[in-house]
């Protein structure tokens, strides 16, 4: 099996080199066929039969997901992993110990119509699964080690301009709408973090709250004076006994859902005639960008956002052209 895997790896390298030569040299079709025939002459090629294997992937997936649930991964994340691994199980019906790098590449090649970021996401889910199996000594080798995620172009993240945010503030029709966007901006909470907050979680004296992020990691977030003003006003306007920080408009009053918050943000953006869709996550990125533009240390913003590494925070922000121009003038020596 190792000899076959090595041959497959070598053939892939030869074909990749041929493709690069074709691009550089401009081979015509006849020349390409000759060179390809020369490469294939070094290999004994047999058509793979549709052999039926006894797959134990689903069994291992269930154990893997149970372990990740104990580690604190959210149900949304676990659902995404299960969906991907179920697709993989249907496509590659083998025992996990027999799965090779080539099997994984063949599986990923089916999705060449998807964006690079989507394919990269598939790669990382498979790497997580097989990496866990290897660490737990369920398999002796990790077939994803040689599989690399496609390189992606770094696109500018989407943030609200100062004018857009002020417009959204002005067009809010309800107290809950204004309170929501002020809290999302000042705390930089993820949608799920904000949705799960209870009134008792708010430390009004310190203008802060403790939230639980990815992996149930605990961190403190902070409210601005403006957000605290609207939050206090909103809570005083309520006449329910629901523990949730944000509740539905109608009885029976209950915790507002993630989807309702998203719809509320979309509605506010529509009222302001913004020419693009706005999601709750935009407020988180906008807050991080504004803090860095105002001189905050990267490490401080990283901790406020709950990121594990500064690289994530740097990728996350969108420094404006005006800010870069100002920094160039301010710090470039004469």
Q: What is the band of 216 on the pLDDT scale with cuts at 50, 70, 90?
A: confident
Q: What is the pLDDT of residue 159?
A: 85
Q: Tell me, what's the pLDDT at 293?
A: 80
Q: What angle do CA 167, 189, 82 make, to 5 degrees?
A: 120
Range of weakest confidence among 105-114, 166-175, 230-239: 105-114
Any idea where the domains of the chain sit in the sequence? 1-45, 54-144, 162-331
Which residue do the tokens 């004296």 mark?
Answer: 205
Same fold: 54-144 with 162-331:
no
Overall average pLDDT of the 244-272 stretch: 95
As a whole number of angstroms, the distance between CA 134 and CA 157 comes to 35
pLDDT in tens, 21-77: 666 666 666 666 666 666 776 766 665 544 445 788 999 999 999 998 888 777 878
Average pLDDT over residues 321-330: 68
Residue carrying structure tokens 């500018």 = 156
**Any idea which of 145-149, 150-154, 181-185 has the lowest mean pLDDT?**
150-154
Residue 115: both structure tokens together: 């964006």
Comparing 29 with 227, the larger pLDDT belongs to: 227
What fold does the segment set 54-144 form as a domain? DNA polymerase; domain 1 (1.10.150)
Average confidence score pLDDT of the chain: 84
**Tell me, what's the pLDDT at 158?**
80
Lowest mean pLDDT among 75-79, 123-127, 209-213: 75-79
Q: What is the C-alpha separation between 135 and 130, in angstroms, rounded?
A: 9
Stronger pLDDT, 326 or 170, i.e. the higher one: 170
Tell me the DSSP string of 33-44: HHHHHHHHTTS-
Superfamily of chain region 162-331: Intergrase catalytic core (1.10.443.10)
Question: What gap in Å lies between CA 13 and CA 7, rounded to an integer?
Answer: 10
Mean pLDDT score, 222-248: 96
**Residue spans of alpha helices (H) in the chain:** 2-25, 29-40, 57-71, 75-91, 101-108, 116-135, 162-171, 175-187, 191-195, 225-237, 258-271, 280-293, 298-305, 310-316, 321-331
**pLDDT of 46:** 61
Give residue 3's pLDDT band: very low, low, confident or very high (50, 70, 90). Answer: low
What is the structure's pLDDT at 307? 84
Cβ-based neighbour number of residue 204 at 10 Å? 13
pLDDT score of 120: 87
- Percent pLDDT > 70 in the chain is 79
What is the predicted pLDDT for the residue at 310? Answer: 79
User: Would the pLDDT of 292 be above 60?
Assistant: yes
């Amino acid at each position: 099996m190792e000899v076959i895997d090595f041959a497959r790896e070598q053939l892939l390298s030869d074909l990749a080199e041929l493709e690069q030569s074709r691009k550089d040299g401009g081979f015509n079709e006849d020349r390409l066929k000759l060179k390809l025939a020369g490469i294939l002459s070094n290999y004994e090629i047999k058509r793979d039969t549709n052999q039926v294997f006894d797959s134990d992937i689903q069994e291992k997936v269930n154990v893997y997901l149970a372990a990740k649930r104990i580690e604190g991964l959210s149900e949304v994340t676990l659902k995404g992993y299960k969906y991907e691994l179920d697709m993989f199980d249907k496509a590659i019906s083998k025992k996990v110990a027999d799965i090779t790098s080539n099997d994984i590449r063949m599986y990923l090649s089916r999705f060449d119509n998807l964006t690079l970021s989507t394919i990269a996401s598939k790669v990382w889910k498979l790497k997580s699964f097989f990496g866990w199996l290897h660490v737990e000594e369920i398999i002796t080798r990790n077939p994803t080690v040689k599989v690399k995620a496609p390189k992606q172009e770094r696109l500018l993240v989407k943030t609200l301009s100062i004018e857009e945010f002020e417009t959204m503030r002005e067009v809010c029709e309800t107290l809950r709408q204004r309170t929501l966007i002020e809290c999302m901006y000042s705390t930089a909470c993820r949608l799920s973090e904000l949705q799960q907050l209870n009134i008792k979680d708010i430390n009004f004296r310190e203008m802060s709250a403790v939230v639980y992020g990815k992996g149930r990691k605990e961190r403190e977030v902070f409210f601005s004076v403006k957000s605290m003003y609207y939050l206090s006003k909103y809570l005083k306007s309520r006449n329910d006994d629901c523990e949730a920080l944000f509740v539905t408009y109608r009885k029976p009053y209950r915790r507002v859902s993630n989807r309702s918050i998203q719809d509320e943000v979309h509605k506010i953006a529509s009222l302001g005639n913004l020419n693009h869709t706005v999601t709750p996550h935009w407020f988180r990125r906008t807050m991080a960008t504004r803090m860095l533009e105002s001189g905050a240390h990267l490490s401080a913003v990283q901790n406020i956002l709950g990121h594990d590494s500064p690289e994530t925070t740097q990728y996350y922000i969108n420094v404006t052209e005006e800010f870069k121009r100002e920094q160039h003038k301010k710090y470039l020596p004469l």
